[in-house]
Structure 1
């Protein structure tokens, strides 16, 4: 664990870093070199910074910390999915997943230690939210999963989804800063189009995404287009009704022109009837969108069951008849509890 007396160097922006170097009596271009090592080359310690003098490296090591994330444990699924337990600098643990398919290599990353929302079908929802992740801790998950993809499958990451532990829009500033560093030319230089942030539906923060003109993709975990049913499984709806969400999404689309993805888990005998599909189709009229129907993945805390295959097919067929682009997503990594909704830290911090 890093000393708390040291300054977290990745919390400094280029101007702040330059000021620190000026105070150390170092030229400004050294700050640029260090910034490049931190964000473009993903240096994990000052010793790696080979174009700096030994004296400067020691000075940095004495006064600053790079609070790196480590892979504490990695589990391999039969379908080649890899689930990671990431140990943070303070000993807390979050999980992140590498999901390889024929078309893409996707990193699923966490944004909080635990979660303050209490969605009944999600394992993370049964955990206490301990803290938000810093931008560099999210960035590190991406770097480590990218290295894992190259090492195990010889293919770099193509996509990132903020669908791991936590509600990204309740860690707004750090999530946006992490995306800025991941997409920046002097960062990882990935495309915004390859990044999706998933929210349980925080209406006022969806509007803020619109105000900030974000370029990444937005996914909304909907799971019912009916306030009563949605509230039953997602207590968040008390302050984020479907009406409030529809208004926020219209505002977001008006500002960004980005279509939205709705994620819809189909639970047996709960939200799997044609009437549910009719309600969903009605909600889909608010903004250009597509629907991802997601298989339910069992967790030990809840007794939901995945809908029958024929019900799912009929549900999807109805949406498609209404002209709504609809995909049925099969779960990956279910055998190692790495699938959607299954992330919950089991090892001790």
Structure 2
């Protein structure tokens, strides 16, 4: 009989299992706590269960958990972890510390299928989706890093690591449900942001599901011609479709929307580009435009603009009434910054 991942069982399903084997129903709650609150990595960790019961669980179920394969420490305090799945795949997650907050940047897929030109992950094949318990494990381990290194729990989570979250829709939503559950990590969904390259029909589905977390759209160009060049997904999900989807999402949820915009020298950094961004911003109930420093990757030949160009772009947005913020990249020296995650070797 094939063993089932015990973390895929709900509490009622666990209760049914214990009743079926003639044990007490309350055992299910004990096991559930070990899985989701005490973060057991094996049945042997479950010390308030008898040895016989732990052996029996091991015969019937698996308890797969991510392990840390390598860790890198940036000069600015950023910590990048390379996690290994039980079937040998590698994904990366990043702890981004500032004075105000401790943020986990987590992955949703092994690789990515979208091939955005400026993103290192986009040059990797998509091997598979991460299961919701694997996403949960990333958050747990990055939270432990935060407590060890800074004496504080995570304050925020962003789905901005490897992969497109909305192409792993069910697992991402289930992971967020576990992260925000009282019998999970108990984090408010309002402190969680899911970033998408723009899958219009799935943005609408988020609205239909009335999610409570925040949404960020990776825009990076404010007209279809330029966006097609750097983000092939735009050919099937153009800006007009995304504007419509984001308005639908906001109408259904009232959740905060942010536009992400990486500045590339002599490509999308002119005043004309800024004005096009203003026009898109005004069509969407967005709270903020995040201007992002471009972080170089080997496969993409763009560079970031100089400070004067960035400031002129920012000034134009502000003059036109756009709430804009320049997000300085962190962890660049260990390839942990926005767009750089690609499983490069770290140190154990």
Shorter-chain-normalised TM-score: which range? over 0.9
Equivalent-residue separation in structure 1 for 2:316 and 2:15 (angstroms) = 58
Equivalent pair of 2:247/2:285 in contact (CA under 8 Å): no
Q: CA deviation at 1:49?
A: 1.8
- Give the stretch that moved more between structures: 119-128 or 98-107: 98-107
For 1:94-243, list aligned pairs within 5 A. Answer: 94-243=91-240
Structure 1 unmatched runs, 5+: none
Is residue 263 from structure 1 mapped to residue 269 from structure 2 by the alignment?
no
Runs of 4+ with >6 A deviation: none
- Counterpart in 1 of 2:70? 73
Q: CA deviation at 1:347?
A: 4.7
Equivalent pair of 1:299/1:342 in contact (CA under 8 Å): yes
For 1:1-150, list aligned pairs within 5 A. Answer: 5-150=2-147
- Deviation by residue 1:301-335 (Cα, 9 ceiling, x = unmatched): 11110011111111111111222211100000001
Equivalent pair of 1:69/1:137 in contact (CA under 8 Å): yes
Equivalent pair of 2:70/2:345 in contact (CA under 8 Å): no
- Deviation by residue 1:198-224 (Cα, 9 ceiling, x = unmatched): 000000000000000000010000001
Q: SS at the partner of 1:20?
A: helix
Structure 2 unmatched runs, 5+: none
- Out of 315, 323, 327, the residue aligned to residue 317 of structure 1 is 315
Equivalent-residue separation in structure 1 for 2:76 and 2:337 (angstroms) = 11
Q: CA deviation at 1:257?
A: 0.8
- Give the stretch that moved more between structures: 288-297 or 15-24: 15-24
- Deviation by residue 1:91-134 (Cα, 9 ceiling, x = unmatched): 10001111111111111100000000000000000000000000
TM-score (norm 2): 0.97
Is residue 330 from structure 1 mapped to residue 292 from structure 2 by the alignment?
no
TM-score (norm 1): 0.96
- Deviation by residue 1:231-267 (Cα, 9 ceiling, x = unmatched): 0000001110101001100100000011310000000
Equivalent-residue separation in structure 2 for 1:80 and 1:110 (angstroms) = 20
Equivalent pair of 1:214/1:256 in contact (CA under 8 Å): yes
Q: SS at the partner of 1:236?
A: helix
Equivalent-residue separation in structure 2 for 1:36 and 1:321 (angstroms) = 53
Equivalent-residue separation in structure 2 for 1:75 and 1:347 (angstroms) = 9
- Counterpart in 2 of 1:301? 299
Q: SS at the partner of 1:28?
A: coil
Equivalent-residue separation in structure 1 for 2:88 and 2:196 (angstroms) = 26
Q: What RMSD in Å do the two structures reach over aligned CA positions?
A: 1.3
